[in-house]
Amino acid sequence: MNELDTEIMAGQLVKKGLTPVHDEESADLLIFNTCSIRDLAERKVMGKLGLLGRAAKKHSIIGVTGCMAMAKKDTLFRKFPHLDFVLGTNNITDLEAIVDEILYTNRQIHKTDDRFEENLDYLIAKRDNQVKAHVSIIRGCDKYCTYCVVPYTRGEEVSRSPDSIVDECKRLADTGYKEVTLLGQNVNSYGKDRPDWGCLFHDLLARIDRETDIKRVRFMTSHPIDITPELMQAVRDLPSLCEFVHFPLQAGSSRILKKMHRIYTREQYFEKVAMLRQIVPNVSLGTDIIVGFPTETDEEFEETYAAMQELRFSIAFIYAYSARKGTPAKRWKDDIPEEVKQERLQRLLDLQAQIGKEERQKFLDTTVEVLIERFNKDGKMLKGRTRCWKKVILEGDASLIGTLQPVQVHSFHHETLLGKIPQSNDLLKIV
């Protein structure tokens, strides 16, 4: 979501006549579009802002946008007097006006509205990637997990109209984009705030599939409680919808889940995964896990370990709990020592690395459909992804970028499958 907001802000500034530069030194305007989800993300920005303050002020204008702007508001000016503006997640449309105002008045400005009004010009986004795009469908979150700042930094859920989303997807397809990722803190709450539209998340997916030429649709992220049978059927039935579902477990113990206010138990989560796997047998699952939540015992951590062993996610984002100001969990003692959190984190990372390796092994000698996105970092090999979000590296030239190709997997390393485009793929099974 932050990346998309950055693209929209860049688009606004380019429209205004500004030119992007690629080095900090020559920039007249520096904007830090920040994240507050964990303490580390905030500390990085605070460190950087401090450094900029100590150096003689070379940049005309420095601004902070995003979640940290919402969490810290104008208190940032006290700590960083050289800062010119603080603009919240719900005020992106005000960026142009604020830059003008600063140029004319030279005053510090902050604007941090609590609620998002759907008035953004999404079509202005300045995207670097020409093959796949992020598309915002709902902002904010009403779930209030006890550890999470998002409901406070992004406000309540506000869905974007289906016509506007479908129109953006059509335009993206017309300009050559092959894949969209529909974005929201909880995409499958989509439309619940607007019963008058009669368009829930699975209805929106069906419209995009039917009315646009986008080849692949993904979504991020989804709360398990709202992963409905209708959504599972959509993953099975809609040709454009990829068979990958991010299904954030967070913890394997029902007591911890309750304390996190995740509104499902371990058993209910397992049942839902079983139902999804029954309806979509070739689905891949991703997850998010937090270790060291206040009061998490060794036994409860082992429940998370066992759940990951049993459920075998194809990708897992694993974090150590970080107490966030303003959240209910912040009021509880952060009682799990840092070394214990790190040890639990490492055990899960090792487990996931092993599972990932075994999963990649299963792809050997199969042929997968890959959307070729760009050259890999080495500049020689091409990089793309399968429908189930596995990264694939292969040989080929620039003309293949933006195309869907069958790729035969011959080996793998780290997180990556290595393959080649077969001469004749008639007899090969595409997965």
Give residues in contact with ligand SAH (CB under 6 A). Answer: 37-38, 147-148, 150, 185-186, 221, 223, 248, 250, 288, 290, 319, 321-322, 324
Q: Which two tokens stand for residue 57?
A: 């002020």
* Residue 144 binding result from ligand SAH, ligand SF4, none, given CB thresholds of 5 to 8 Å by partner type: ligand SF4
Contact partner, 135, from ligand SF4, ligand SAH, none, Cβ < 5-8 Å per class: none
Nearer to ligand SF4, 150 or 318 (CB): 150
Among 109, 8, 87, 21, smallest CA distance to 59 is for 21
Cα 157 to the center of its chain, rounded Å:
16
Closer to ligand SF4 at the Cβ: 82 or 143?
143
Number of residues that bind ligand SF4 (CB under 6 A): 10
- Give helix 95-105 / helix 2-15 axis angle, nearest 10°: 60
Instruction: Tell me phi and psi for residue 222, to 5 degrees.
Output: -130, 140
Q: How far is the CB of 100 from ligand SF4 (least distance, A)?
A: 33
- Rounded Cα distance between 385 and 371, Å, is 6
Distance in Å, CB of 327 to ligand SF4, minimum: 9
Residue 388 and residue 416 in contact, taking contact as beta carbons nearer than 8 Å:
no
Shortest Cβ 191–ligand SF4 spacing (Å): 17
Examine residue 286 and tell whether it contacts ligand SF4 (CB under 6 A): no
Alpha-carbon distances of 155 from 113, 144, 231, rounded to whole Å: 9, 11, 25
What part of residues 136-155 is at the interface with ligand SF4 (CB under 6 A)?
A: 141, 143-145, 148, 150-151
SS (H, E, C) 307-347: HHHHHCCCEEEEEECCCCCCCHHHHCCCCCCHHHHHHHHHH
By a kind-dependent CB cut-off of 5 to 8 A, residue 151 interacts, out of ligand SF4, ligand SAH, none, with ligand SF4
Q: Would you call 284 helix, strand, or coil by DSSP?
A: strand
Residue type, 245: V
- 321 touches which of ligand SAH, ligand SF4, none (CB within 5 to 8 A by kind)? ligand SAH
Nearer to ligand SF4 among residue 151 and residue 419 (C-beta): 151
Laid out side by side, the sheet with 179-183 consists of 132-136, 179-183, 216-220
Residue 319 site contact among ligand SF4, ligand SAH, none (CB < 5 to 8 Å, cut-off depends on kind): ligand SAH
- CA-wise closest residue to 147 among 267, 308, 38: 38
Least Cβ distance, residue 307 to ligand SAH (angstroms):
14
- Residue at 269: amino acid letter: Y
User: Between residues 2 and 130, which has the closer beta carbon with respect to ligand SAH?
Assistant: 2
Q: Which helix (H) or strand (E) holds 289?
A: strand 284-291
Q: What is the CA radius of gyration of the chain?
A: 23
Q: What is the nearest approach in angstroms of ligand SF4 to the Cβ of residue 202?
A: 19
Cross-strand bridge partners of residue 65? 33, 87
To ligand SAH, the closest distance from the beta carbon of 336 in angstroms equals: 12
Least distance in angstroms from the C-beta of 326 to ligand SAH: 11
If binding is defined by CB under 6 A, does position 185 make contact with ligand SF4?
yes
Q: Rounded CA gap, 252 and 403, in Å?
A: 40
Binding site for ligand SF4 (CB under 6 A): 141, 143-145, 148, 150-151, 185-186, 223
